[in-house]
């Protein structure tokens, strides 16, 4: 065996330097810039190791002890461990750890409990909702009947009275709470009481805030919500993927919806990485991490506002901030995100509520603190970064300024290296 392997190149740098070099360059990019896209994070080396493990070779259609192929002893062990840890972490009755990402996780809930054409409610995409919450270009808007709630124009916050009024009028079968671009605490209990009143099921999509929820720094939709979905790669700091949690009553329907309803073989290497991330989130230190994410976001928000930058809702309760650029001009989000990237600050353009422009040319920039907090940065660093962001926003075409800030960002990144 040893002899057969002699002389065979096995490392990526030798077998495929083209790919290896691209990966190396991406590592360099992440190491030397400030990742402030609020849905991204830096996973631990342990999560990456599990994700790249030998489990990548295994086909495991089905569920632990009920598979279709042989050789499942360790796939069963790893998937059971991931399920048990998720149950412990969230206090969930049933967990399916197989969804490949957030969209299929939400899709599975639809498949489990709705019929084609059924009415459901979700937050308007341009007010911070997600594509799977009823966008016309998504399966949820094409095959079902969405009713959208919105934020109040003045407060820019969700108005539960409006949600209740819509729910009473439209009698949805399912109400989705949750967001991708809303900076304030989500009142899951309020949503639950509305769902209960109109006889709807409640799906809380906590993808953005799962890490905050398990750490107790954001209210939890458990145990009342019938369904809770979350991606595992945002504040939870795990691999790219998702899980679905539900009341035991819906366990069978959810499992059937994921497989064979939507997916084939689960990605057991990713499930192993989810187990590692859940193990990390069960450590007491994760509570400190999540609390620091929010403290950092608040410090950043205060700095930006003191520098004259308008934030949607004038602040944040979470990991996420939404800069409203409308006072400076309509549709400036994309060029502003590009200017910030020239300074080494990586964000994403985003619509703001009641944006007069289009999602392709939005008037906002979305940013957040999970990744910077993973690097060990605290309020002091947030204040520096907030000042740099404000300087670029006030003078977005000044290339000299961008280069100066790029240098400062580089120095900061060196002080807080990624654990690779
Ligand atoms: N792409 C995710 C986000 O950035 O929030 C949502 O799917």
Q: Residue 228 phi/psi, 5° resolution?
A: -135, 125
Residue 107: the pLDDT is: 98
Q: Whose C-alpha lies nearest to ligand 1, atom 2?
A: 39
Question: Contact, 332 vs 325, CB < 8 A?
Answer: yes
Active site residue 234: yes
Residue 268, sorted as left (phi over 0), alpha (psi -120 to 50) or beta, turns out to be: alpha
For a mutational test of ligand 1's pocket, the pick from 107, 180, 346, i.e. the residue with the most ligand atoms closer than 8 A to its C-beta, is: 180
> What digits encode the pLDDT tens for the residues 194-245?
999 999 999 999 999 999 999 999 999 999 999 999 999 999 999 999 999 9
Which of 61, 76, 118, 391 is an active site residue? 61
CA distance 371 to 38: 8
Residue 127: the pLDDT is: 96
Which of 234, 237, 274, 375 is an active site residue? 234
pTM: 0.96
Residue 359: the pLDDT is: 87
Cα(2) to centroid(ligand 1), Å: 46
Which ligand 1 atom sits closest to the C-alpha of 103? 7
Active site residue 9: no
- Walk me through the domains of the chain, giving residue ranges and CATH numbers: 54-281 (3.40.640.10), 285-415 (3.90.1150.10)
For residue 327, give the nearest of 340, 339, 310, 349 by alpha carbon: 310
* Residues lining ligand 1, Cβ inside 6 A: 39, 102, 130, 180
Token pair 């209960």 in the structure block, residue? 196
Q: What does each of the 420 residues of the chain score in pLDDT, given as a tens digit?
A: 455 555 566 789 999 999 999 999 999 999 999 999 999 999 999 999 999 999 999 999 999 999 999 999 999 999 999 999 999 999 999 999 999 999 999 999 999 999 999 999 999 999 999 999 999 999 999 999 999 999 999 999 999 999 999 999 999 999 999 999 999 999 999 999 999 999 999 999 999 999 999 999 999 999 999 999 999 999 999 999 999 999 999 999 999 999 999 999 999 999 999 999 999 999 999 999 999 999 999 999 999 999 999 999 999 999 999 999 999 999 999 999 999 999 999 999 999 999 999 989 999 999 999 999 999 999 999 999 999 999 999 999 999 999 999 999 999 999 999 998
Active site residue 61: yes
Question: Contact, 390 vs 303, CB < 8 A?
Answer: yes
Q: Which residues pair with 67 in a beta bridge?
A: 62
Q: Whose C-alpha lies nearest to ligand 1, atom 1?
A: 39
Residue 380: the pLDDT is: 98
DSSP label of 313: G
Residue 211: the pLDDT is: 98
Active site residue 59: yes
CA distance 315 to 323: 10
Q: Whose C-alpha lies nearest to ligand 1, atom 5?
A: 180
- Cα 43 to the center of its chain, rounded Å: 13
Residue 6: the pLDDT is: 59
Task: For the chain, count helices (H), then strands (E).
Answer: 17, 14
Active site residue 289: no
Residue 323: the pLDDT is: 98
Active site residue 248: no
Q: Whose C-alpha lies nearest to ligand 1, atom 6?
A: 180
Question: Contact, 173 vs 156, CB < 8 A?
Answer: no
């Amino acid at each position: 065996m040893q002899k057969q392997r002699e002389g065979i190149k096995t490392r990526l740098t030798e077998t495929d330097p083209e790919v290896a070099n691209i990966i190396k360059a991406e590592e360099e990019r992440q190491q030397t810039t400030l990742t402030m896209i609020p849905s991204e994070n830096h996973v631990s080396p342990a999560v990456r190791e599990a994700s790249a493990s030998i489990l990548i070779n295994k086909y495991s259609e089905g569920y632990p002890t009920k598979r279709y192929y042989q050789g499942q002893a360790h796939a069963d062990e790893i998937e059971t461990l991931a399920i048990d840890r998720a149950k412990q972490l969230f206090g969930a009755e049933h967990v399916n750890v197989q969804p490949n990402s957030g969209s299929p996780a939400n899709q599975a809930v639809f498949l489990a409990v709705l019929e084609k054409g059924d009415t459901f409610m979700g937050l308007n995409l341009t007010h911070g909702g997600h594509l799977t919450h009823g966008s016309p270009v998504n399966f949820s808007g094409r095959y079902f009947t969405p009713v959208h709630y919105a934020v109040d124009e003045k407060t820019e916050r969700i108005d539960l009275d409006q949600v209740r009024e819509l729910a009473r009028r439209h009698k949805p079968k399912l109400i989705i709470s949750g967001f991708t671009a809303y900076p304030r605490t989500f009142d899951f209990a309020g949503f639950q009481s509305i769902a209960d009143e109109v006889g709807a099921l409640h799906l809380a999509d906590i993808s953005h805030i799962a890490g905050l929820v398990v750490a107790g720094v954001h209210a939890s939709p458990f145990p009342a919500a019938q369904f809770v979905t979350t991606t595992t790669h945002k504040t939870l700091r795990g691999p790219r993927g998702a899980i679905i949690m539900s009341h035991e009553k819906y366990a069978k329907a959810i499992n059937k919806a994921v497989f064979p309803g939507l997916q084939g073989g689960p990605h057991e290497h990713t499930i192993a990485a989810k187990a590692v991330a859940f193990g990390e989130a069960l450590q007491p230190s994760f509570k400190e991490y999540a609390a620091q994410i929010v403290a950092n976001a608040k410090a950043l928000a205060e700095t930006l506002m003191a520098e004259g930058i308008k934030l949607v809702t004038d602040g944040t309760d979470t990991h996420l901030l939404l800069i409203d650029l409308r006072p400076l001009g309509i549709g400036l989000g994309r060029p502003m995100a590009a200017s910030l990237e020239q300074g080494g600050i990586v964000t994403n353009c985003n619509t703001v509520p009641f944006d007069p422009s289009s999602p392709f040319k939005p008037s906002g920039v979305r940013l957040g603190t999970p990744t910077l907090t993973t690097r060990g940065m605290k309020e002091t660093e947030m204040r520096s970064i907030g000042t740099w962001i404000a300087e670029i926003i006030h003078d977005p075409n000044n290339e000299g300024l961008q280069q100066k800030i790029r240098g400062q960002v580089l120095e900061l990144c060196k002080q807080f290296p990624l654990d690779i």
